[in-house]
Amino acid sequence: MADYRILHDADRCVKCGLCVAFCPCDVLEIGKEGYPVVVDAEPCVGCMTCSGNCPQRALTVEATGDAVYDPFADEPRAEPLDSKRCSEFAEYQRVIMEKLGLRWQPVAVGLIEADELLPDVPMPSENLRFCQALMAARRGASVLMPPSKHSCPDGTSIFGMTGVPEKLATGEIYVLFHKLDTAEAAAQMVAERPTLPPHSRRATYVAPLNKTVREPEVVVFTGTPEQMMWLCMSMSYYTGHRFDFHASGYNSMCVEAVLIPLRDDEPNITFGCYGCRAASDIGEDMMFMGVPTNRLPTIAKGLTELAKKAIPHSRMKIYLPPIM
């Protein structure tokens, strides 16, 4: 199992204390000589927040231990989806990607309940943020992560796998990042975001929709604003229904793309967030939409109709006056 050690270069360190202030898990404190020292390495999740905020790059976080160790190796695993359901998901993916011209595969997301068997899916050798796992899944990877494999304590607490560290609960760390003006504003943001009950889930699971071995709660799409527009219209095609989206730029993938669609049984858009964009390869022109799995038939059917005329005509700019 991957543990982490923090290496400190005293020759580069200017004793600013930012690494200690930014560590969300209180792994570090200021020593007698003013240098950061590790007081408890066990809570370290490898988030790299300390090293990323060191102005002199005096800290390095390294994974140690047995990278291939599986603490659940002796547990029975859940039976995979039956072949008929797998074929349905594969067909939804084919139709949606073809009609929209999506570059990235839609991602099936599962939040494994505390008493649920884990799917037979590999875990990463090093800890990842949930958003990083999701980005890997849109490229074709299947990733299972219990809380010990998550490098973002925000995500594990939001998904009900752990409690929330004090610096995150109070919003203190958001002020340090200059993402919010005051601790009061940060605390309000934290209070408004939905979370699952602590220790109600034991792992997150992501996979390309056409490769999922478990029924997903939510499917997350990555695309341009124009493609997200057509996704909205596909779900409105037969009803004319308008959507009330909830987006803030905070906790994008875990709250806005997954938890809100799960809670409300409604689609939700998100623009990404600081952590998602800083920790992944997502382009500046991309955004996301999470949809409850039960919307997939409507999306595929609606897009098929829209692709007959509306989508190609819009992309041809048929109302644009000719340049004289």
Residues 136-148: pLDDT tens digits?
999 999 999 999 8
167-173, long-range: CB < 8 A, 24+ apart:
167/24, 167/26, 168/24, 173/22, 173/24
pTM higher than 0.85? yes
Determine the Cα–Cα distance for residues 135 and 124; give it in Å rounded to an integer.
Answer: 13
pLDDT value, residue 1: 47
Lowest mean pLDDT among 10-24, 216-230, 259-273: 10-24
Can you point out the beta strands (E) in the chain? 2-8, 28-30, 36-38, 59-65, 107-113, 143-145, 201-208, 218-223, 268-270, 287-292
One-character DSSP codes across 71-90: TTTTS--PPPPPHHHHHHHH
Average pLDDT, integer, range 76-93: 97
Which pLDDT band holds residue 312 (cuts at 50, 70, 90)? very high
pLDDT cut 70: percent of the chain above it: 97
Which pLDDT band holds residue 261 (cuts at 50, 70, 90)? very high
User: Between 225-236 and 83-100, two packed helices, what is the crossing angle to 10 degrees?
Assistant: 120
Q: Residue 69: pLDDT above 70?
A: no
- Three-class SS state of 216: coil
Of the two residues 22 and 124, the one the predictor is more confident about is: 124
pLDDT value, residue 323: 65
Question: Phi/psi of residue 288, each to 5°?
Answer: -135, 160
Question: Phi/psi of residue 316, each to 5°?
Answer: -80, -5
Please, is 245 exposed, middle or buried when counting C-beta atoms within 10 Å of its C-beta (0-12, 13-18, 19+)? middle
Could you tell me the two tokens for 48?
A: 């790299």
Ranges of H-type helices in 79-224: 83-100, 130-138, 153-158, 166-169, 172-176, 183-192
pLDDT value, residue 324: 59
Do residues 250 and 273 lie in contact, with contact meaning Cβ atoms separated by under 8 Å? yes
Could you tell me the two tokens for 247?
A: 């987006």
Determine the Cα–Cα distance for residues 243 and 270; give it in Å rounded to an integer.
Answer: 13
pLDDT cut 90: percent of the chain above it: 57
Q: How far is CA 243 from CA 35, 81, 221, 246, in A?
A: 52, 31, 17, 10
Residues 27-59: pLDDT tens digits?
888 888 888 888 888 778 777 778 887 888 888
Average pLDDT, integer, range 159-178: 84
- Annotate 15-51 with three-state secondary structure: CCCHHHHHCCCCCEEECCCCCEEECCCCCCCCCCHHH
User: Between 296-306 and 83-100, two packed helices, what is the crossing angle to 10 degrees?
Assistant: 30
Mean pLDDT (the chain) is 90
Residues 207-222: pLDDT tens digits?
999 999 999 999 999 9
